[in-house]
Structure formats: structure tokens, C-alpha cells
Amino acid sequence: MTIIELELEVFAVAASSPICGIPLVRRLMPVSINLRVSITVGGFVDVYHNEHTGTTAYAFVQGAQRVFGADNTGGGHVHPFDDPAKHEPVPDAISFAEFMAEIEQHYAQP
């Protein structure tokens, strides 16, 4: 995945999500990008991708704490809502669309 492909995915998913604000490109380097998306349920999602290393990471932050995350560092894994310090392996890397769907589903539950 290129940084442009990730940026386009983030903007497209945010535009169609009922809980996303407009993404902000916080840092753009020749081989990496960091974006932030405000979330209407409170907090924000930080998105990072390094094209050279292939690293992709998503973190949903409320207050000053990550409450949910996913990345492919050391193998794909998620940091679940019930224990964000935990690493739960996943068989395939998670896309930004899948990450946002998890957040939307979490907040849709009664």
C-alpha cells in the first residue's frame, strides 16, 4: 500500500461514516503519513503508515488513552476495547474501513 492509497481510503471511509469528522493530514513525509480523524462519540483516530517498512497502525484515543487499536507491527493484531494493552493476533491486516466498522459497531450496541 502506498501513502496515497491509504490517504484516499481514510478520506473515503470518513466521508461515508456517520461518526467521522474530516481527516487532517498531520504529517506527510516522502515515505510516511500520519492522519487524525475526529470522532463524534468523543476522541479521535490516529492513522499511521510507513510505505518503506509496510507498517500501518490505527489508534482510537479518548482523553489521553488508547481505547482501541490495530497494527501490523510484529504480526497483525488488535488492542481490544475491553483491554487496549492486550495484543490479540489477527490472521490478516485490518483496513481502515474495518477498523472504523468496529468502532461504529461498538457504539451502536445498547
Q: How far is CA 44 from the centre of its chain?
A: 9
Distance CA 91, CA 34 (A): 24
**Span 49-106, pLDDT tens digits:** 999 999 999 999 999 999 999 999 878 899 999 999 998 999 888 999 999 999 999 9
Handedness of CA 20, 56, 69, 99 (dihedral sign): positive
pLDDT over threshold 70, residue 110: no
Domain chopping of the chain, boundaries: 3-108
pLDDT score recorded for residue 8: 97
3 touches 10 (CB < 8 A): no
Instruction: Indicate the DSSP class of residue 43.
Output: S
- pLDDT band, residue 109 (cuts 50/70/90): low
pLDDT score recorded for residue 21: 97
**Span 15-59, pLDDT tens digits:** 999 999 999 999 999 999 999 999 999 999 999 999 999 999 999
pLDDT score recorded for residue 82: 93
Give the burial class of 4: count Cβ atoms within 10 A of its Cβ; 0-12 exposed, 13-18 middle, 19 or more buried: exposed
